[in-house]
Structure 1
């Protein structure tokens, strides 16, 4: 048994599917009969028309929206939305829809207020949604519907409420519909320099590189920035290269507005390069398919080598010997000790340079400082001591005494002014020895 509980025949009819509407129309025409329809599986036994179905006194417009709330998700570009038959069962009395013989049904949609985040705005839609005109379609004498069309703005989210008015010639009815665009977190982004070079240092060296990262965004780019309240953190991972940094002092980014300063502390006497991956992450989460992590970028940090001065020490600063009767080589072992090519430069070649500073007489034929034969390794005409000491070799002139003062400098093949060590002064003193007088008997 079907009971039709309404006061308007036309309004009741449009609540059913088309086949049922036909049956109701026939009933209202006085044809009461039973039907067994195998397609629809309908058994119509009797009609009990509770109210006056022939009454046409109710002329107020009516419509229904099966779902008065539309839920969508923010996107990175504007997109159109078309909802078929969003407005259904549209009814306007015949006396209300005809103007000069032309049928007119007018649906007007006016924004009431919109909400973004926790902020509510009383008027307008904040550019979140752009509603188009509503066109009413007529599918049969008792079926009218209208589609809802609108466009969601780029990177727009929030809740928008609209007042929908169905207006006849002199009467109208209002309903409220809501469109909710759920926020979808957009990944942060930035631009990073590809490399930074610094000179090797002799001590721990903290470096700050301003504007190493620029154009930091929390999500959508300008002017659609709607995630500026989010916090961003940078993550840097070394992917290749040498260990150049002090413990817990590797590269990091300090954010200042939309730029980032690179901060790191290099180890002393270290050179080489290292490769890093860098990405940023915000606190916006990944709900509704959002993303909180930027793309990965890479950069290099290069520590250019700086030649370190070689160094050594003299075991003594003065050597005294007696005047000799013959010119012969004199060896002073381990005169130079603690020989070093410089930090982190073990394969540099070395040579000693001896410069005369002062002398009372020229009593030395030859003088040099050399590595021991079993310690010398040759590289391109240079040599370096595989151990850390060297000997002095000089040859005094026979029957000559006096003093000579020398500056001894160690030189490496690294180039530049840093190739020379600090000079050390050595004095050689030959003490006079009284020689016996001589004579010769000729005959």
Structure 2
């Protein structure tokens, strides 16, 4: 018996018994019972029956009459039909009875039939009566659901998931009388927000539905497991709550698989323009525009561009931080990926020339490389970021590094002194700056090859312009040769300075001027040639049968190395230009050298020595000159040699007896047994003196 819809009442009538008014109580005036066909007993329906008095439990108690007054049948849509007077026996399998002794009301509702029946309970022989409504409510049978696609579904994250539901038995009141089902779903998961939304299609709400679909939307970039519980429930019968089970559920196990998204990043610039040898740079993102980046210059030539790559992402919600998880979900429900950078040169050989440490990218996006100070040029690179998803994905970007030449200071080697003799006028035979010895003696700059740039030299005004002729001031050619014209009779030292300038310019801090180098031109006295005098022009000696050395003292006289300053005879103010030179004699040529066993020579004191060959006579001419040790100077036409002198040496023959020979003697005929020529009369005669005549 359901809960009463009205409270119990006190029923009083006009009939009295033993002087007391007729009255009785009923516990309820509305009974809700399940229309299941079973007997229903309402205990103590009638109570507080004062008329029984001392007759309680005897036949003297009052008798009650039960009368059906009206009824309403509940229709299949759950609403009550119109009120009909009278009785409808089909409402009850057994009609209501009232036991006056216990006050219990008993009746049996008909199975499967619902509605309201109004029963009047009246005490006989009195006017005490009350109307009681007995309401039979439907018994609800739960719908039977099944899942044609199975109890588990697997999908990728961000996919649309459709779950098919079959209604095998709609259940309801009185068989299949419900006009519709109410549908709900519930998601149970540790991956918060995995299912972003869900909706049942219209067929779920049809009155005769046999199946429908629940469409789920999965949140992008989330993965995990969830249980989807689907419940179908009968609609309410107006304001009536039926007995039984109004709904049933089916559960689907959902698995959302991880779907890897490619990583992404941005570059601060697609190319860097760097000065050669720089440890930091200015990057350009367009013509005339510049983007300075932070860099670390603690290591020479090592560049570190912080955040060259930025907005680095392994994919939406795929990083290793809790904030990347949607809706603040636990970190375990995010993908927690890490990334690896690779930097690959387009031309490995060119990159190896430009860098001693090839560019690399740190996990934080810093670009690091070390320049090779000796080279400049450009190199392109491919930057790739790989994630560790399944499967691994990557993003590819390209950037270029341009290393611009920075002009280095020219260097040169300049001797401290240039020595020339008085009267020099012209170009030194040896370059002042040896530009041909590149780069040891001269260079337009460190790491700049020969021919890379042109250059010029600038020479200062001399410390004393009087050393030079008008228009003869020192000048230097681009190949390093010094030209000047000295004024007459000057000697001493004059100072000048020199610097070089190349054509590399000064852009990006370049230096095109060398240091200034100082040097002196030292003008010294010209070395005067030595002089001497031969005592005679002919030296005659007799022939000798043996080797005999001839000595002629003072054959050369008045021997002078030059002026007094070259003979150590110096005035007080001549200083270091006063020297004492030594003179030697040189025999350049002897016309008949075979006349001598020891060729002629003259020593420093002028003594002539020679030895004629034994028993030889004749004459020879000797050519001789003197040399001092003052040296020669290619800048001066004057040498350290005197003019050439010559003299004759005559070896007079000894007196001998004359001799002769016959040209031909005939001693015999050829047919003589003894026939021969006599001996030559003179051994010196080389012509045959005798011949054998043939046949006579």
TM-score of the two chains, using structure 2 as the length reference = 0.31
Task: Name which structure has the greater RCO, CA cutoff 8 Å, separation 6+.
Answer: 1
Q: Which of the two has greater strand per residue?
A: 1
TM-score of the two chains, using structure 1 as the length reference = 0.47
